Amino acid sequence: MKILFVQLPVQEPSFEGTRSNVPLAAGYLAAWAEKCGLLSRDEWRILPRTIVDYASDRGLVEAIASAFADKVAAGESGAPDLVAFSLYLWNLERSAWLATELEKVLPRARLIAGGPEVVHGMPIFSRSPFHALIEGEGELPFARLLDDIRRGKPLEKSYRAEGDLDLVELPNPYLEGIIPFEADIPVHIETMRGCPANCGYCYYGKNFHGVRRMKREDVYRVVERAGKEGVSELYLMDPSFQATEDLPERLIALAKANSAGLSIHAELRLESINEEVGRLYAAAGLASAEVGLQTMNAKALDAVGRRWDRKSFERGAEILAKNRVTVKTGLILGLPFDGYEDVIATLDFLGMTGLGQDAELYPLSLLPGTLVREKADDWGMTRMDRPPYWVTSTDWISQDDISDAIAAFEDGFDVEWTAPPAPHFREFENGYRAFVDARREENLDWIRLNPAKLAHSVTFLVDADNPEGMARLARVARDLKRDNPFALYQIVLRSDSRVPGEKLVLRLADAFAYRDHYYELSRYFSLDPQAGYQTRMFFATRNPSLAYRAMEEAQDLETCLVVGGKGGFNADRLAEQLPFVIFDRDALPFDRLYELLMIYTDFRHMLVEAPEELWT
């Protein structure tokens, strides 16, 4: 048997989301199946992150279909017999598309899926490209599915655990060598499953019966090994890390294991923190804590089964701040009984307590299996049918009010709720083509013939003074949307003589756009005047006057000022307007490079590096 595990990443133009794509679930499934004697190490693989995190849709189809190509020499097929997908909000539809395509090229393979998106009552149970679905905690039902295959039995439509797994018996995938320690990838650790809370917007508490704990010695061994392997960050995946009677002892042991000083990130309740516990968290290496306030509105909190104590919350925040731990306060927009004025009151509270700049603001997601999803109609909630399932209005807050609340959040704390994406001019990302100079016709011919060699995010550089060239790119878009429907595109229109016309820009944007893409929908409430995100339009020029005019007149474009090694720039005007800046670090004199970096200290995402020869 040949099994391939696939977990697709959060797609972002910068590829930054790939760092968090750790296939922990697949690691646990493989570890448990090996322990049960159902799999040997040479029978399964996890699709390498050098492929899964960067490849285009068609590239993934080809990579999955040939994942065991090295076995062909031994007389075996290079194709997997079973492909197992982990389904999350961000990859559900892309994974389903891949499964549909894989059915065409791997007709004998079994396709299965599990994860938080696999919940009864969701469309995936009635319209699924998968042969079997695993609902809930996966290790036991996955083992049963493998046993059915070994016995030659037909797969059931769905599998679910009939009891709780003893987590002390579950091998850790890091210690088993299933998931490698990599210096640039954070380690993800579960120390428990289950949650003492039962919040109405979260399925985690309903998915598990009570709180069960992993083998603690394994947790500390993972921390020690991560430090020795040069890892710098570690995420504790527990929903309430503090939920244990012996928290001080756990933190002391964690501090001992973390002698390398890894930065640890955890989710916890501020109300649980006293002076001693705060010091112990800091000693253990806690760098940031995600704390869920959600709202100050007591009626809203009561409706979703949530509680808070203001005095204890403030004290806990003060203690962590004193110990140099960043507090990231979570707020939810669109809770039942929570109106615009309630949101503003919560923002005012964060401002008074100094928690605003690190706060994280989320529209309410009606996640599969949650109370808020069940009662959405009762509460007058309009919502997205697709992930991220955001609420767009309720009986208490309108869509405009949600947008206004986000604006108040940005203005009040001088933060960007959604930073604009930037183009990238690196030709390749891990071997996949990520930048195409579309001014050269042969490059357009190449991508038409090689859709599998593209990355999942591609920047095109286009001559805005050549309408025929732009029309050719629009025609290429039809082929790309067929082969790579979930790709992200950044289209850079380059001219030193004029700002591209609105109709021309719109025609090209529409040719590439996929309005229901997760990346697009997850920016639904963005206040940016350019509506599109999955396909983002840019105007690049070496002409400063033209750049600043475009910023005033062309709201459908992001303006990029190209700063060359021989030219100069007006620092005051640049600091006032803050366009994207494209520059070549090696070509720019040091004094001007330093000045540029100082101007954009708080906006480094708007500095884009590119070879100077692209603009000459």
The residue among 413, 441, 468 that closes a domain is 413
Say if residue 112 is in the same domain as residue 200: no
The Cα 48–Cα 7 span in angstroms is 10
The answer to whether residues 408 and 434 belong to one domain is no
Whether the CB-CB separation of 158 and 143 falls below 8 Å is answered with: no
Q: Which of 182-196, 205-219, 582-596 has the lowest mean pLDDT?
A: 205-219
Tell me the C-alpha to C-alpha distance, in Å, between residue 441 and each of 348, 436, 447, 469, 476: 55, 11, 10, 8, 11
Tell me what pLDDT residue 243 has. 86
Range of the domain at 357: 181-413
> Which residues make Cβ contacts (< 8 Å) with residue 270, sequence separation at least 6?
289, 291, 312, 313, 315, 316, 317, 320, 327
CA distance 172 to 225: 12
Q: Please compute the mean of the pLDDT values over residues 61-71 and round it to a whole number.
A: 94
Indicate if the pLDDT at residue 241 is higher than 70: yes
120 lies in some domain: yes
Predicted pLDDT at 205: 60
Alpha carbon distances (Å) from 207 to 69, 125, 135, 202:
38, 17, 9, 10
pLDDT at 248 over 90: yes
pLDDT at residue number 565: 82
Please check whether residue 295 lies inside any domain of the structure: yes
Residue 323 makes CB contacts below 8 A (sequence gap 6+) with 278, 279, 281, 282
For residue 507, being part of any structural domain is answered with: yes
Closest CA to 81 of 131, 144, 27: 131
Q: What whole-number distance in Å separates Cα of residue 169 and Cα of residue 38?
A: 16
Residue 169 located in a structural domain: no
CATH number of domain containing 107: 3.40.50.2300
Do residues 26 and 86 make contact, with C-beta atoms less than 8 angstroms apart? yes
176: in domain: no
CA distance 347 to 354: 11
Quote the CA–CA distance of 335 and 366 in Å, as a whole number: 10
Tens of pLDDT, residue by residue over 278-319, are 999 999 999 999 999 999 999 999 999 999 999 999 999 999
Same domain flag for 534 and 501: yes
**How many other C-beta atoms can be found within 10 angstroms of the C-beta atom of residue 18?**
20
Please report which confidence band the pLDDT of residue 568 belongs to, taking 50, 70 and 90 as the band edges: confident
220 and 151 share one domain: no
Contact 36, 149 (CB under 8 A): no
Does the residue 71 lie in any domain?
yes
Distance separating alpha carbons of residues 546 and 495, to the nearest angstrom: 9
DSSP string covering 601-612, please? TT-GGGEEE--G
If asked whether residues 443 and 401 sit together in one domain, one would say no
User: Does residue 153 sit in the same domain as residue 218?
Assistant: no
pLDDT of residue 127: 85
Q: Which residues of 288-322 are buried (b: 16+ CB within 10 A; e: fewer)?
A: bbbbbbbbbbeebbebbebebeeeebbbbbbbbee
pLDDT above 70 covers a percentage of the chain that reads 99
Select from 489, 496, 487 the least CA-distant residue to 463.
496
Q: Is the pLDDT of residue 131 over 90?
A: yes
- State whether 67 and 131 are in the same domain: yes
Q: How many angstroms separate the CA atoms of 305 and 301, rounded? A: 6
> Would you say 281 and 273 are in contact if contact means Cβ atoms under 8 Å apart?
yes
Residues 21 and 66 in one domain: yes
Are the C-beta atoms of 583 and 560 separated by less than 8 Å? no
Evaluate whether residue 103 is within a structural domain: yes
Q: Which pLDDT belongs to residue 413? A: 95
- Report pLDDT for 207: 63
pLDDT attached to residue 355: 96
Tell whether 383 and 476 lie within a shared domain: no
Q: What is the DSSP-derived secondary structure letter of residue 230?
A: T
Which residues share a beta bridge with 457? 488
For the four alpha carbons of 109, 114, 120 and 123, in that order, the dihedral sign comes to negative
Q: What total of structural domains would you count in the chain?
A: 3
Beta bridge partners of 489: 458, 535
* pLDDT tens digits for range 495-525: 999 999 999 999 999 999 999 999 999 999 9
Please report the pLDDT score of residue 204 as a whole number.
Answer: 74
CA–CA dist 240, 245 (Å, integer): 13
Residue 420 lies in a domain: no
459 close to 435: Cβ distance less than 8 angstroms: yes
On whether both 364 and 439 belong to a single domain, the answer is no
Q: How far apart are CA 429 and CA 14, in angstroms?
A: 10
Residues 213 and 68 in one domain: no
**Does the pLDDT at position 470 exceed 80?**
yes
Report the distance separating Cα 489 and Cα 438, nearest Å.
13
pLDDT value of position 70: 87
Q: Does position 277 have pLDDT exceeding 70, yes or no?
A: yes
Q: What is the pLDDT of residues 371-406, one digit of tens each?
A: 999 999 999 999 999 999 999 999 999 999 999 999
* Mean pLDDT for the chain overall: 95
Q: How confident is the model at residue 236 (pLDDT cuts 50, 70, 90)?
A: very high
Q: Domain containing 320 — which CATH number?
A: 3.20.20.70
Per-residue pLDDT band at 206 (split at 50, 70, 90): low
Q: Domain containing 608 — which CATH number?
A: 3.20.20
Average pLDDT value for residue range 310-337? 97
Q: Quick one: 9 and 126 in the same domain?
A: yes
- pLDDT tens per residue, range 154-204: 999 999 998 899 999 999 999 999 999 999 999 999 999 998 888 999 987
